[in-house]
Structure 1
Amino acid sequence: MSETWTFVCASPELLPGEMRTAFDEVTGAPILVLNLDGELYALEDICSHEDFELSAGTLDPDAGTIECVLHGAKFDVRDGRALCAPAYEPVAKFPVKREHDGVWTRDDRD
């Protein structure tokens, strides 16, 4: 588990409906940070159906979902749960915070 927070971007660079990617400085995990109406969420940037980056997909800010471009699996960005086939497993959700005018995240898995 990483105790080190990874800088994603300056807070003004992540507006509602936008997303940014980062790699955890300790574990190397790819992380996708999304802004839904001012609330920040962070998920592992890998579709649980097939090893493909979710950040290449489409964010639906109204529904709070992201769709993988590879096979159309959808995930709830608030908790990472899979919403439709072909994905049945959730994607990992990570902590995210605003601090010192920046957005920070980390891989907190054991």
Structure 2
Amino acid sequence: MPNWVRAAHVDDVPADCGLELVIAQRIIGLYRVEDQFFAMDGICAHQGGPVAKGATCGKVVTCPWHGWQYDVTTGKHELSEIRQQTFPIERRGDELFIDMEVPGT
């Protein structure tokens, strides 16, 4: 069953940039790519770096610690099969909600 949690107002998320949030005791990266929004685990799979605070270029975010890059639309690492968890987003007017349901529960 979905667990929709309000994440942000659309104006809180700069164009082609990420926003680090703490939602349901998780660090989440919220990204705007053109007029679409995406949410991804904000902790880098490499060594736990703050990927949500990384530089974003188009749909790619780069972790500031060691340069690992992920596609924010899919969570996929750019050079391997590693995938960050992504979360469904729903826009309700000018508010963004993230489904924080834990898979398999």
Larger strand proportion of the pair: 2
Q: Which amino acid aligns with 2:20?
A: T
- Tell me how far apart the structure 2 counterparts of residues 9 and 52 of structure 1 sit (CA, whole Å): 23
- After the TM superposition, which of the residue ranges 95-104 and 68-77 deviates more from structure 2? 95-104
- Tell me how far apart the structure 1 counterparts of residues 36 and 69 of structure 2 sit (CA, whole Å): 19
- Tell me how far apart the structure 2 counterparts of residues 69 and 15 of structure 1 sit (CA, whole Å): 18
Structure 2: gaps spanning 5 or more residues: none
Q: TM-score, normalised by structure 2?
A: 0.84
For residues 58-105 of structure 1, the C-alpha deviation after alignment (integer angstroms, 9 at most, x for no partner) is: 1012xx100111111110111000113xx7521101111111421111
Aligned length: 103
The answer to whether the 8 A contact 1:49-1:88 is kept is: no
Identity of paired residues, percent? 17
CA displacement at 1:57 relative to structure 2: 1.1
Structure 1: gaps spanning 5 or more residues: none
User: What are the residue-to-residue correspondences of 1:1-110 with 2, within 5 Å?
Assistant: 3-25=2-24, 28-61=25-58, 64-84=59-79, 89-110=82-103
